[in-house]
Amino acid sequence: MTEARVWVGPERSSVVAKAIERAGGTLAEPGDANAVVWIGPPSRDLIREVVHPGIRWVQLWSAGPDWWVEHGVVDRERVWTRVEDVYAADVAEHALAFILGAARCLPQVARRRRWHEGSGDRLAGHTVGIVGAGAIGRQTIERLRPFGVRTIALTRTGGPVRGADRSVGSEGLDELLRESDYVVLAAPLTPETEGLIGARELELIGPEGWLVNVARGRLVITDELVEALENGRIGGACLDVTDPEPLPDDHSLWRFDNVLITPHAANPPGTFDEPLAGLVEENVRRFREERELIGVIDPERGY
């Protein structure tokens, strides 16, 4: 049995601290710790001060570790883990809200200031494509099931995805885009997925289709999305993430009535303390028992 001496920071969480103790770990100062639970915004300088040679494991609170990988923080000298399913339910719920809003034309209707003839459509009978069927993608598929939609799930390997009507690999992206009325981006940001959706892909989605992004802003080439919206080559977009982020007040995306933007708000404040604590508790227990941890990051793959 390995001793788990854990530093929690830079932000404190009594819920996470109690979870560590329940799992048999102890709270420690950075110099005495052999594990870190990082809670707070990324900081390359601070984490390098904390992560000394004695640190064997670092738990990040990010679902997508792209910032940490891109800035060369994640190394092979120790194990780094990300949160696997902690945010999935909330983000999937946000994606569902986006899809329903798009189907009922709520972004356009909400901007009107006079009574207008009804618009919108039912969701049943339409096709939703999920690009990235990890935890968020799978939970989105589950929440869509009662609405009578057809779902196509894309994963890197193309293996079957539970609940999806069809599963495809990365080579099936064009087909997914052509067939989907709503395309949900839920993939991690990696060198392979950066700029995944540009002018050609938006053309495939078409003037009746909607793009929903709850992943990372850089999966979409923003200038090409703006151009597609200006020329009516896509039906609309629902974006919880953008590139750049935060989106400047004078950015062109704000002026379209068929674009719904939320400020990276798919996780309501205070909703993930308990799920995060549950993950930390399980990983501390596994760390002490020298078992494989949940959510291990592969620096080569980027997630």
Q: How far is CA 26 from the centre of its chain?
A: 31
Helix (H, G, I), strand (E, B) or coil at 203: helix
Q: Is the C-alpha dihedral spanning 220, 225, 228, 233 positive or negative?
A: positive
b/e sequence 84-102, b meaning 16+ C-beta within 10 Å:
ebbbbbbbbbbbbbbbebb
Provide the CB-side half-sphere exposure for 6 (13 A, CA).
31
Write the burial class of residue 237 (CB in 10 Å: 0-12 exposed, 13-18 middle, 19+ buried): buried
**Residues 219, 198 contacting (CB under 8 angstroms):** no
Q: How far is CA 266 from the centre of its chain?
A: 9
Q: Say which of 94, 216, 218, 285 is annotated catalytic.
A: 216
Write the burial class of residue 110 (CB in 10 Å: 0-12 exposed, 13-18 middle, 19+ buried): exposed
Ramachandran region of residue 120, left (φ > 0), alpha (ψ -120 to 50) or beta?
left
**Residues 196, 187 contacting (CB under 8 angstroms):** yes
282 is catalytic: no
116 is catalytic: no
Helix (H, G, I), strand (E, B) or coil at 33: coil
Q: Say which of 245, 251, 286, 288 is annotated catalytic.
A: 245
Q: Say which of 251, 264, 286, 288 is annotated catalytic.
A: 264
Helix (H, G, I), strand (E, B) or coil at 288: helix
216 is catalytic: yes
Catalytically annotated residues: 216, 245, 264
